[in-house]
Chains A and B, each alone.
Chain A
Amino acid sequence: KQEVTQIPAALSVPEGENLVLNCSFTDSAIYNLQWFRQDPGKGLTSLLLIQSSQREQTSGRLNASLDKSSGRSTLYIAASQPGDSATYLCAVRGEETSGSRLTFGEGTQLTVNP
């Protein structure tokens, strides 16, 4: 059974700081890994998706890396801003022949202080 763990559970940083969020998964047989952002009481916004054959993806100030063999991914946020405050969720999709079921971690709650 796939299990996804995110560390830390919560993080508070001053504005402008660079930061790293960590995600680990127990079964390396994944199809892809996705990072989401969730604002309080809201749905999920996809930030980055990394296919299992890729090592990293970048979008603006965000960079996600994937080490499939070791079961780890990191989300790097450069020059953090108060608007980045949210919960960040990591999710993996297994190597199934059909379906797109995602297994999520519990998230990292990020607060960026002005």
Chain B
Amino acid sequence: DAGVTQSPTHLIKTRGQQVTLRCSPKSGHDTVSWYQQALGQGPQFIFQYYEEEERQRGNFPDRFSGHQFPNYSSELNVNALLLGDSALYLCASSFRPGSYEQYFGPGTRLTVT
């Protein structure tokens, strides 16, 4: 049983560019959450998707957007990249938004130069 998978593993972008990160949830899970983890910090909640809709959102600007597909996989899009967007982006999946436990993927390391 595959766990949560994310792609790509690493990514280098230039300031001002746009990036798309991808996540496939654990088998049987229908809810995906995204977190940003800057170096030396704890993860910060970006948003959560369920039934192809954004259900909750953290304190992130509109440059951060997402999408969930009918097969429950999800994308995180970041426009107009800033140097401060450099971080490890983590995806977590669960069964239903109210599930008490989430499973995390290995993350995508984004470097903005």
Residues of A whose CB lies within 8 Å of any CB of B are 4, 31-32, 34, 36, 41-46, 49, 51, 89, 91, 93, 97-107
Cβ contact of B100, chosen from A36, A43, A49, A103, cutoff 8 A = A49
B101 within 8 A of A: yes
Across the interface, do A43 and B104 meet the contact criterion of CB distance under 8 Å? Answer: yes
B40 within 8 A of A: yes
Across the interface, do B98 and A98 meet the contact criterion of CB distance under 8 Å? Answer: yes
Per the bound structure, the CA–CA distance linking A106 and B97 in Å amounts to 24
Q: Which B residue sits closest to A105, measured CB to CB?
A: B42
B86 within 8 A of A: no
* Total inter-chain residue pairs, C-beta < 8 Å: 73
B48 within 8 A of A: yes
Q: Which A residue sits closest to B45, measured CB to CB?
A: A101
A100/B100 contact (C-beta < 8 A), A42-B107, A43-B105, A44-B90 known = yes
Q: B47-69, CB under 8 A of A: which get 1 and which 0?
A: 01000000110100000000000
Which residues 69-99 of B sit at the A interface, judged by CB distance below 8 A? 88, 90, 92, 94, 97-99
Interface residues on B, range: 20 to 34
A100/B94 contact (C-beta < 8 A), A41-B88, A89-B42, A106-B40 known = yes
Across the interface, do A100 and B44 meet the contact criterion of CB distance under 8 Å? Answer: no
Cβ contact of A99, chosen from B56, B101, B104, B109, cutoff 8 A = B56
Per the bound structure, the CA–CA distance linking A36 and B31 in Å amounts to 20
Across the interface, do A100 and B97 meet the contact criterion of CB distance under 8 Å? Answer: yes
Across the interface, do B58 and A101 meet the contact criterion of CB distance under 8 Å? Answer: yes
Per the bound structure, the CA–CA distance linking A102 and B43 in Å amounts to 9
- Of the candidates A51, A89, A100, A102, the one having the most CB atoms from chain B within 10 angstroms of its own CB is A100
Per the bound structure, the CA–CA distance linking A38 and B34 in Å amounts to 17
Per the bound structure, the CA–CA distance linking A106 and B37 in Å amounts to 10
Per the bound structure, the CA–CA distance linking A97 and B97 in Å amounts to 10
A100/B31 contact (C-beta < 8 A), A49-B100, A106-B41 known = yes
